[in-house]
Amino acid sequence: MPDLKVLILGGTAEASQLAASVLGRHGERIDLVSSFAGRVEALRPPPGRIRIGGFGGAEGLQRYLMSERIDLVIDATHPFARQMSRNAREAADRTGIPRLVLWRLPWPRHPLDRWIEVDGLEAAALALARLGRRVWLTVGAAELAPFAALPDRWYLVRLIEAKAPLPLADCTVIEARGPFPLENERALIRRHRIDVLVSKASGGDATYAKIEAAREADLPVVMVRRPLPEPGERVESVADAADWISARL
């Protein structure tokens, strides 16, 4: 019989690292469930149990937490997964179940970075109008529509899985999963003669090399600002999140 039931809202490298760390420390004393939205078919499951698919809003998550008798909720979702984080806060507040946000630190801005910071993808597409024709787009498959309207653009799009046709008239798609080494990113910029990179301010090590490669090549980067984290208890490292769970055993 486990001492604690923990739900990790995942879909990030940190969430999977946390599952491995907690089970490595405490083994069967913790019943750990990692939850995924189900956007990626070739899931790399972390240790412990997994569940896949939405809960049905904050109410659905609330019902899940009660019926599964969850003791702790860790919101280790991506910094741009705003809806899931909001639902987690609401459901945890209503049930009184302790919730921790594992918040990935943003990338620091280097003095030589040429970032154009914007709020949202529509603003990113607008900013591109003056920034070159060959664009490397590193946003999600569901976020490409604002870029379709720009005339005379060629896009390099990198996705974990390209499931459906993209809304872009002229593009090359690469299917790949991070982490991406710096040499890989330098080579992509050279081979595809990239003029400008579009990125979300995701933070994290796995995708930082593209930012370094753009800096080296003196390329502008249209950087979509991240939303503020949900209020509540928050840590910024996997180790601190694992300690937070350990302290509740």
Sites of contact with ligand NAP (CB under 6 A): 9-12, 35-37, 39, 54-57, 60-61, 77-78, 80-84, 87, 140, 200
By beta-carbon distance, which residue lies closest to ligand NAP?
Answer: 54
CA–CA distance from 102 to each of 6, 31, 163, 249 (Å)? Answer: 14, 19, 29, 19
> Between 37 and 171, whose beta carbon lies closer to ligand NAP?
37
Q: d(Cα 196, Cα 96) in Å, to the nearest integer?
A: 46
Residue given tokens 């189900």 in the structure block: 38
> Between 195 and 223, whose beta carbon lies closer to ligand NAP?
223
> Between 17 and 77, whose beta carbon lies closer to ligand NAP?
77
> Between 81 and 213, whose beta carbon lies closer to ligand NAP?
81
Least Å distance between CB 130 and ligand NAP? 25
Task: State the virtual CA torsion across 50, 51, 53, 58 in degrees, nearest 10.
Answer: -110
Least Å distance between CB 34 and ligand NAP? 8
Least Å distance between CB 118 and ligand NAP? 15
Residues in the chain: 249
Q: d(Cα 79, Cα 12) in Å, to the nearest integer?
A: 10
